[in-house]
Amino acid sequence: MRTSYVVRIEVPLEEFRRTLAGLDGAVLHRELSPGRVVVLGDRPLGTLLPGLAGVVGVTPDLPRPMD
């Protein structure tokens, strides 16, 4: 089952998208509002996402089947 996270960012969306491309198994699912996006992962990413450039906060999304 995939995991999902609401991620707060302080960089433009396209810049974050390029940064996220370097994290294996992570996919930008959608933008919620400026500065907030949903990221999906094939594995738990809760400890990796906060270390990415431009990330100011990470909250696990409500657990639900994504497949």
Q: To which H or E segment does residue 18 belong? A: helix 13-20
pLDDT-derived band at 61 (thresholds 50, 70, 90) equals: confident
Mean local confidence (pLDDT), 55-67? 78
Alpha-carbon distance 52 to 48, whole Å? 7
Residue 65 confidence (pLDDT):
56
Q: What are the pLDDT digits (tens) for 10-58?
A: 999 999 999 999 999 999 999 999 999 999 998 889 899 999 999 999 9
Output the CA angle 4-15-35, nearest 5 degrees: 55
pLDDT-derived band at 7 (thresholds 50, 70, 90) equals: very high
Alpha-carbon distance 54 to 10, whole Å? 5
Residue 32 confidence (pLDDT):
94
